[in-house]
A and B are shown apart, each in its own frame.
Chain A
Amino acid sequence: MSYMPVSPGVGMEENFLSLDDILLSQERLPCKTDTEFPGLGFLEKNADSRHIPEGTKMEMPLWLAKGLYERKRRVISVELPKVYREGWRTVFGADANVVDLHKMGPYYYGLGSQMLHFDSPENLEIAQTVLQTFIGRFRRTMDSSQNAYNEDTSMLVERLDCLERALFRQGQSGLNGFQLWEKGRAAQLTASSLVTNYRKRKITDLQA
Protein backbone atom coordinates (compact mmCIF):
# COMPACT_ATOMS: atom_id res chain seq x y z
CA MET A 1 0.00 0.00 0.00
CA SER A 2 1.56 3.25 -1.12
CA TYR A 3 -0.48 5.46 1.21
CA MET A 4 1.53 5.77 4.41
CA PRO A 5 -0.15 8.17 6.85
CA VAL A 6 1.82 9.89 9.59
CA SER A 7 1.89 7.50 12.54
CA PRO A 8 0.91 8.57 16.06
CA GLY A 9 3.60 9.65 18.51
CA VAL A 10 5.04 7.32 21.11
CA GLY A 11 4.37 7.69 24.83
CA MET A 12 3.93 11.30 25.92
CA GLU A 13 4.80 12.70 22.53
CA GLU A 14 2.32 13.60 19.83
CA ASN A 15 3.09 13.84 16.13
CA PHE A 16 1.86 17.21 14.89
CA LEU A 17 0.63 15.86 11.56
CA SER A 18 -0.76 12.53 12.75
CA LEU A 19 -4.51 12.22 12.22
CA ASP A 20 -4.67 9.67 15.06
CA ASP A 21 -3.01 12.07 17.50
CA ILE A 22 -5.30 14.90 16.48
CA LEU A 23 -8.33 12.73 17.21
CA LEU A 24 -6.80 11.49 20.44
CA SER A 25 -6.27 15.05 21.61
CA GLN A 26 -9.93 15.75 20.93
CA GLU A 27 -10.89 13.57 23.92
CA ARG A 28 -12.54 15.56 26.70
CA LEU A 29 -11.23 15.84 30.24
CA PRO A 30 -12.92 17.08 33.42
CA CYS A 31 -11.22 20.39 34.36
CA LYS A 32 -11.57 23.31 36.71
CA THR A 33 -10.64 26.88 35.96
CA ASP A 34 -8.20 28.35 38.50
CA THR A 35 -8.57 31.83 37.12
CA GLU A 36 -11.25 33.90 35.42
CA PHE A 37 -11.53 33.85 31.62
CA PRO A 38 -13.11 37.20 30.72
CA GLY A 39 -15.29 37.39 27.63
CA LEU A 40 -15.64 33.64 27.11
CA GLY A 41 -18.82 33.11 29.10
CA PHE A 42 -20.68 32.03 25.95
CA LEU A 43 -18.67 28.81 25.85
CA GLU A 44 -19.96 27.67 29.21
CA LYS A 45 -23.61 26.91 28.71
CA ASN A 46 -24.44 27.22 32.41
CA ALA A 47 -22.84 30.62 32.90
CA ASP A 48 -25.08 33.69 32.90
CA SER A 49 -22.19 36.06 32.78
CA ARG A 50 -19.94 37.21 30.00
CA HIS A 51 -17.02 35.61 31.74
CA ILE A 52 -16.03 32.12 32.83
CA PRO A 53 -15.50 32.60 36.56
CA GLU A 54 -12.68 31.07 38.57
CA GLY A 55 -13.55 27.66 39.97
CA THR A 56 -15.82 26.65 37.08
CA LYS A 57 -15.98 22.93 36.44
CA MET A 58 -16.05 22.25 32.74
CA GLU A 59 -14.95 19.68 30.20
CA MET A 60 -12.09 20.63 27.94
CA PRO A 61 -10.57 18.76 25.03
CA LEU A 62 -7.06 17.46 25.74
CA TRP A 63 -5.46 19.89 23.27
CA LEU A 64 -6.91 22.86 25.15
CA ALA A 65 -6.02 21.45 28.56
CA LYS A 66 -2.42 20.87 27.45
CA GLY A 67 -2.23 24.35 25.97
CA LEU A 68 -3.61 26.15 29.02
CA TYR A 69 -2.04 24.08 31.81
CA GLU A 70 1.01 25.59 33.49
CA ARG A 71 2.91 23.84 36.24
CA LYS A 72 3.92 27.01 38.06
CA ARG A 73 0.73 29.02 37.65
CA ARG A 74 -2.88 28.46 38.49
CA VAL A 75 -4.65 28.55 35.15
CA ILE A 76 -6.57 25.27 35.07
CA SER A 77 -6.57 22.02 37.05
CA VAL A 78 -7.12 18.78 35.21
CA GLU A 79 -8.95 15.95 36.96
CA LEU A 80 -8.04 12.36 36.31
CA PRO A 81 -10.73 10.56 34.32
CA LYS A 82 -12.24 7.70 36.33
CA VAL A 83 -10.48 4.95 34.44
CA TYR A 84 -7.04 6.22 35.58
CA ARG A 85 -7.99 6.62 39.22
CA GLU A 86 -7.21 4.27 42.06
CA GLY A 87 -10.48 2.34 41.94
CA TRP A 88 -10.09 1.35 38.33
CA ARG A 89 -6.36 0.87 38.71
CA THR A 90 -7.09 -1.90 41.20
CA VAL A 91 -9.40 -3.58 38.69
CA PHE A 92 -6.69 -3.48 36.05
CA GLY A 93 -4.25 -4.91 38.54
CA ALA A 94 -6.56 -7.81 39.31
CA ASP A 95 -7.23 -8.85 35.71
CA ALA A 96 -6.57 -6.49 32.83
CA ASN A 97 -8.18 -8.83 30.31
CA VAL A 98 -11.76 -8.51 31.52
CA VAL A 99 -12.04 -4.78 30.94
CA ASP A 100 -13.83 -3.39 27.90
CA LEU A 101 -11.18 -0.87 26.93
CA HIS A 102 -13.17 0.40 24.00
CA LYS A 103 -15.96 1.50 26.28
CA MET A 104 -13.54 2.90 28.86
CA GLY A 105 -11.56 4.75 26.19
CA PRO A 106 -11.40 4.26 23.28
CA TYR A 107 -7.94 5.78 23.67
CA TYR A 108 -7.01 4.18 26.99
CA TYR A 109 -3.25 3.96 26.40
CA GLY A 110 -2.97 7.18 24.39
CA LEU A 111 -4.92 9.29 26.83
CA GLY A 112 -3.24 7.62 29.81
CA SER A 113 0.16 8.64 28.46
CA GLN A 114 -1.04 12.18 27.79
CA MET A 115 -2.42 12.52 31.32
CA LEU A 116 1.16 12.43 32.58
CA HIS A 117 1.60 16.00 31.29
CA PHE A 118 -0.50 17.35 34.15
CA ASP A 119 1.83 16.58 37.05
CA SER A 120 -0.62 14.54 39.06
CA PRO A 121 0.82 13.13 42.29
CA GLU A 122 -0.46 9.78 41.01
CA ASN A 123 1.57 9.96 37.78
CA LEU A 124 3.85 7.08 38.74
CA GLU A 125 0.93 4.78 39.55
CA ILE A 126 -0.91 5.80 36.37
CA ALA A 127 2.12 5.10 34.19
CA GLN A 128 2.72 1.74 35.84
CA THR A 129 -0.92 0.67 35.52
CA VAL A 130 -1.11 1.66 31.85
CA LEU A 131 2.08 -0.26 31.12
CA GLN A 132 1.10 -3.35 33.10
CA THR A 133 -2.34 -3.36 31.51
CA PHE A 134 -0.79 -3.37 28.08
CA ILE A 135 1.55 -6.21 29.03
CA GLY A 136 -1.31 -8.19 30.50
CA ARG A 137 -3.52 -7.87 27.45
CA PHE A 138 -1.02 -7.98 24.64
CA ARG A 139 -0.64 -11.74 24.54
CA ARG A 140 -4.32 -12.31 23.93
CA THR A 141 -4.51 -9.61 21.24
CA MET A 142 -1.50 -11.04 19.44
CA ASP A 143 -2.71 -14.65 19.66
CA SER A 144 -6.18 -13.87 18.38
CA SER A 145 -4.89 -11.72 15.52
CA GLN A 146 -2.58 -14.52 14.42
CA ASN A 147 -5.20 -17.25 14.57
CA ALA A 148 -8.38 -15.68 13.28
CA TYR A 149 -8.24 -16.43 9.56
CA ASN A 150 -11.11 -15.71 7.22
CA GLU A 151 -13.64 -15.21 9.99
CA ASP A 152 -15.69 -12.46 11.57
CA THR A 153 -13.40 -10.81 14.08
CA SER A 154 -15.85 -8.27 15.47
CA MET A 155 -16.21 -10.14 18.76
CA LEU A 156 -12.45 -10.27 19.26
CA VAL A 157 -12.00 -6.59 18.50
CA GLU A 158 -15.01 -5.26 20.40
CA ARG A 159 -13.31 -4.71 23.73
CA LEU A 160 -9.96 -3.50 22.45
CA ASP A 161 -8.84 0.11 22.62
CA CYS A 162 -7.56 1.90 19.51
CA LEU A 163 -3.91 0.99 19.96
CA GLU A 164 -4.79 -2.67 20.42
CA ARG A 165 -7.05 -2.56 17.37
CA ALA A 166 -4.21 -1.16 15.28
CA LEU A 167 -1.96 -3.97 16.50
CA PHE A 168 -4.68 -6.49 15.78
CA ARG A 169 -5.04 -5.18 12.22
CA GLN A 170 -1.29 -5.42 11.69
CA GLY A 171 -1.35 -8.99 12.94
CA GLN A 172 -4.20 -9.85 10.60
CA SER A 173 -2.43 -8.25 7.67
CA GLY A 174 0.64 -10.35 8.40
CA LEU A 175 -1.44 -13.49 8.76
CA ASN A 176 -3.28 -12.90 5.49
CA GLY A 177 -0.03 -12.19 3.69
CA PHE A 178 1.43 -15.42 5.00
CA GLN A 179 -1.61 -17.42 3.94
CA LEU A 180 -1.45 -15.96 0.45
CA TRP A 181 2.20 -16.88 0.24
CA GLU A 182 1.50 -20.40 1.43
CA LYS A 183 -1.08 -20.82 -1.30
CA GLY A 184 1.34 -19.55 -3.87
CA ARG A 185 -0.81 -16.50 -4.58
CA ALA A 186 1.64 -13.91 -3.30
CA ALA A 187 3.02 -13.19 -6.76
CA GLN A 188 -0.31 -13.12 -8.57
CA LEU A 189 -1.07 -9.83 -10.18
CA THR A 190 -4.07 -8.26 -8.55
CA ALA A 191 -5.64 -4.90 -9.15
CA SER A 192 -4.70 -2.39 -6.51
CA SER A 193 -7.40 -2.20 -3.83
CA LEU A 194 -7.46 1.56 -4.31
CA VAL A 195 -8.36 1.09 -7.97
CA THR A 196 -10.99 -1.58 -7.26
CA ASN A 197 -12.71 0.57 -4.67
CA TYR A 198 -12.92 3.52 -7.03
CA ARG A 199 -14.57 1.33 -9.64
CA LYS A 200 -17.10 0.09 -7.10
CA ARG A 201 -17.89 3.68 -6.18
CA LYS A 202 -18.46 4.58 -9.81
CA ILE A 203 -21.19 1.98 -10.24
CA THR A 204 -23.07 3.13 -7.17
CA ASP A 205 -22.76 6.74 -8.39
CA LEU A 206 -24.48 5.72 -11.61
CA GLN A 207 -27.26 4.01 -9.68
CA ALA A 208 -27.85 7.03 -7.46
Chain B
Amino acid sequence: MFCEKAVELIRELHRMTDGQLPAFNEDNIRQVLEEMKALYEQNQTDVNEAKTEGRSELIPTIKFRHCCLLRNQRCITAYLYDRLLRIRALRWEYGSVLPTTIRFHMCAEELEWFNQYKKSLATYMRSLGGDEGLDITQDMKPPKSLYIEVRCLTATGDGMVIINSVN
Protein backbone atom coordinates (compact mmCIF):
# COMPACT_ATOMS: atom_id res chain seq x y z
CA MET B 1 0.00 0.00 0.00
CA PHE B 2 1.20 3.51 -0.67
CA CYS B 3 2.06 6.07 2.02
CA GLU B 4 3.71 3.64 4.43
CA LYS B 5 6.90 5.72 4.62
CA ALA B 6 4.91 8.84 5.38
CA VAL B 7 3.20 7.23 8.36
CA GLU B 8 6.59 6.10 9.67
CA LEU B 9 7.46 9.77 10.11
CA ILE B 10 4.36 10.26 12.21
CA ARG B 11 5.03 7.17 14.31
CA GLU B 12 8.56 8.39 14.97
CA LEU B 13 7.25 11.62 16.47
CA HIS B 14 4.30 10.04 18.21
CA ARG B 15 6.65 7.73 20.16
CA MET B 16 8.29 10.72 21.81
CA THR B 17 5.49 11.94 23.99
CA ASP B 18 7.56 14.27 26.17
CA GLY B 19 8.35 16.72 23.40
CA GLN B 20 11.87 15.56 22.54
CA LEU B 21 13.07 16.35 19.05
CA PRO B 22 14.37 13.37 17.05
CA ALA B 23 16.85 13.88 14.20
CA PHE B 24 15.36 15.36 11.03
CA ASN B 25 14.49 12.38 8.87
CA GLU B 26 15.63 13.79 5.56
CA ASP B 27 15.93 10.36 3.99
CA ASN B 28 12.36 9.39 4.72
CA ILE B 29 11.00 12.72 3.50
CA ARG B 30 12.90 12.36 0.27
CA GLN B 31 11.34 8.93 -0.29
CA VAL B 32 7.85 10.28 0.37
CA LEU B 33 8.39 13.11 -2.10
CA GLU B 34 9.62 10.61 -4.68
CA GLU B 35 6.49 8.52 -4.19
CA MET B 36 4.38 11.65 -4.60
CA LYS B 37 6.18 12.53 -7.82
CA ALA B 38 5.55 9.06 -9.25
CA LEU B 39 1.87 9.09 -8.25
CA TYR B 40 1.41 12.56 -9.72
CA GLU B 41 3.03 11.66 -13.03
CA GLN B 42 0.99 8.47 -13.35
CA ASN B 43 -2.16 10.46 -12.68
CA GLN B 44 -1.21 13.10 -15.26
CA THR B 45 -0.87 10.36 -17.86
CA ASP B 46 -4.16 8.74 -16.92
CA VAL B 47 -6.05 12.06 -16.79
CA ASN B 48 -4.88 12.88 -20.31
CA GLU B 49 -5.88 9.45 -21.54
CA ALA B 50 -9.27 9.69 -19.85
CA LYS B 51 -9.89 13.09 -21.44
CA THR B 52 -8.62 12.47 -24.95
CA GLU B 53 -9.75 8.87 -25.38
CA GLY B 54 -12.80 9.01 -23.14
CA ARG B 55 -11.50 6.24 -20.90
CA SER B 56 -13.62 7.04 -17.90
CA GLU B 57 -12.89 3.65 -16.33
CA LEU B 58 -9.54 5.12 -15.30
CA ILE B 59 -11.25 7.56 -12.94
CA PRO B 60 -11.38 5.28 -9.87
CA THR B 61 -7.65 4.69 -10.17
CA ILE B 62 -6.97 8.40 -10.59
CA LYS B 63 -9.02 9.04 -7.48
CA PHE B 64 -7.09 6.32 -5.63
CA ARG B 65 -3.73 7.89 -6.43
CA HIS B 66 -5.09 11.31 -5.54
CA CYS B 67 -6.06 10.04 -2.06
CA CYS B 68 -2.51 8.77 -1.65
CA LEU B 69 -1.06 12.13 -2.68
CA LEU B 70 -3.27 13.90 -0.14
CA ARG B 71 -2.28 11.41 2.54
CA ASN B 72 1.44 11.92 1.91
CA GLN B 73 0.94 15.66 1.94
CA ARG B 74 -0.92 15.48 5.24
CA CYS B 75 1.76 13.34 6.87
CA ILE B 76 4.63 15.56 5.79
CA THR B 77 2.83 18.75 6.80
CA ALA B 78 1.90 17.33 10.20
CA TYR B 79 5.47 16.04 10.68
CA LEU B 80 7.00 19.43 9.96
CA TYR B 81 4.42 21.27 12.04
CA ASP B 82 4.76 19.03 15.09
CA ARG B 83 8.52 19.45 14.94
CA LEU B 84 8.10 23.22 14.98
CA LEU B 85 5.90 22.91 18.07
CA ARG B 86 8.69 20.97 19.73
CA ILE B 87 11.34 23.45 18.63
CA ARG B 88 9.24 26.32 19.93
CA ALA B 89 8.95 24.54 23.28
CA LEU B 90 12.74 24.25 23.37
CA ARG B 91 13.07 28.04 23.51
CA TRP B 92 10.91 28.08 26.62
CA GLU B 93 12.48 25.05 28.31
CA TYR B 94 16.13 25.50 27.38
CA GLY B 95 16.57 29.18 26.71
CA SER B 96 17.92 30.88 23.64
CA VAL B 97 21.09 28.83 23.27
CA LEU B 98 20.42 25.21 22.36
CA PRO B 99 22.90 22.42 23.08
CA THR B 100 24.75 21.21 19.99
CA THR B 101 23.19 17.75 20.17
CA ILE B 102 19.75 19.27 19.68
CA ARG B 103 20.95 21.62 16.96
CA PHE B 104 22.22 18.64 14.99
CA HIS B 105 18.73 17.22 15.01
CA MET B 106 17.35 20.27 13.23
CA CYS B 107 17.49 20.93 9.51
CA ALA B 108 18.72 24.28 8.21
CA GLU B 109 15.22 25.66 7.74
CA GLU B 110 14.25 24.70 11.28
CA LEU B 111 17.34 26.44 12.70
CA GLU B 112 16.39 29.53 10.71
CA TRP B 113 12.85 29.30 12.08
CA PHE B 114 14.18 29.02 15.62
CA ASN B 115 16.33 32.11 15.15
CA GLN B 116 13.39 34.08 13.81
CA TYR B 117 11.21 32.91 16.68
CA LYS B 118 13.87 33.91 19.20
CA LYS B 119 14.04 37.36 17.60
CA SER B 120 10.29 37.86 17.63
CA LEU B 121 10.09 36.77 21.25
CA ALA B 122 12.99 39.06 22.26
CA THR B 123 11.41 42.03 20.47
CA TYR B 124 8.16 41.37 22.23
CA MET B 125 9.78 41.03 25.65
CA ARG B 126 11.70 44.27 25.15
CA SER B 127 8.45 46.07 24.51
CA LEU B 128 7.05 45.15 27.93
CA GLY B 129 7.66 46.67 31.34
CA GLY B 130 8.93 50.12 30.46
CA ASP B 131 12.58 50.70 29.51
CA GLU B 132 14.13 47.45 30.61
CA GLY B 133 11.73 45.00 29.08
CA LEU B 134 10.55 41.87 30.86
CA ASP B 135 11.86 38.35 30.52
CA ILE B 136 8.64 36.37 30.50
CA THR B 137 10.44 33.07 30.10
CA GLN B 138 11.49 33.30 33.74
CA ASP B 139 9.15 32.91 36.68
CA MET B 140 6.59 30.87 34.76
CA LYS B 141 4.85 29.74 37.91
CA PRO B 142 2.72 32.17 39.90
CA PRO B 143 4.20 33.54 43.14
CA LYS B 144 3.59 31.51 46.30
CA SER B 145 3.69 34.28 48.85
CA LEU B 146 0.47 35.99 49.87
CA TYR B 147 1.87 39.48 49.55
CA ILE B 148 4.03 41.16 46.97
CA GLU B 149 5.72 44.52 47.16
CA VAL B 150 4.42 47.17 44.85
CA ARG B 151 5.91 50.51 43.97
CA CYS B 152 3.49 53.41 43.72
CA LEU B 153 3.97 55.26 40.44
CA THR B 154 1.67 58.22 40.84
CA ALA B 155 0.29 60.05 43.80
CA THR B 156 -3.46 59.80 43.57
CA GLY B 157 -4.50 61.05 46.96
CA ASP B 158 -6.86 59.00 49.05
CA GLY B 159 -8.41 55.77 47.92
CA MET B 160 -7.28 52.31 46.93
CA VAL B 161 -5.22 51.90 43.83
CA ILE B 162 -4.03 48.59 42.46
CA ILE B 163 -0.84 48.84 40.43
CA ASN B 164 0.71 45.92 38.57
CA SER B 165 4.30 46.66 39.40
CA VAL B 166 6.41 43.86 40.87
CA ASN B 167 9.71 44.45 42.62
- Give chain A's interface residues, CB within 8 Å of chain B: 1-6, 16-20, 22-23, 26, 35-40, 43, 61, 63-64, 67-68, 75, 186-187, 192-195, 197-198, 201-202, 205
- Give chain B's interface residues, CB within 8 Å of chain A: 1-3, 7, 10-11, 13-14, 18-20, 42, 46, 57-58, 60-61, 63-64, 66-68, 70-71, 74-75, 77-78, 81-82, 85-86, 88-90, 92-94, 99, 101-102, 141, 144
Q: A2-B88, A5-B82 are in contact. List 15 more A-B contacts (CB 8 A).
A: A1-B18, A1-B19, A2-B92, A3-B19, A3-B85, A6-B85, A16-B74, A22-B74, A22-B78, A40-B61, A64-B67, A67-B66, A186-B141, A186-B144, A194-B94
Whether B89 and A194, one on each chain, are in contact in the complex, defined by CB atoms closer than 8 angstroms, is yes
Q: Which residues of A contact B68 (CB under 8 A)?
A: 64
Whole-angstrom CA separation of A18 from B14 in the bound complex:
10
Whether B64 and A37, one on each chain, are in contact in the complex, defined by CB atoms closer than 8 angstroms, is yes
Known A3-B86, A26-B7; judge A17-B101 contact (CB<8 A): no
Whether A3 and B89, one on each chain, are in contact in the complex, defined by CB atoms closer than 8 angstroms, is yes
Whether B61 and A5, one on each chain, are in contact in the complex, defined by CB atoms closer than 8 angstroms, is no
Whole-angstrom CA separation of A35 from B71 in the bound complex:
22
* Chain B residues touching A, majority SS: helix
Whether B67 and A194, one on each chain, are in contact in the complex, defined by CB atoms closer than 8 angstroms, is no
Known A17-B77, A36-B57, A197-B20; judge A22-B10 contact (CB<8 A): yes
Whether B20 and A194, one on each chain, are in contact in the complex, defined by CB atoms closer than 8 angstroms, is yes
Whether B78 and A17, one on each chain, are in contact in the complex, defined by CB atoms closer than 8 angstroms, is yes
Known A68-B67, A195-B93, A195-B94; judge A37-B82 contact (CB<8 A): no
Q: Which residues of A contact B13 (CB under 8 A)?
A: 19
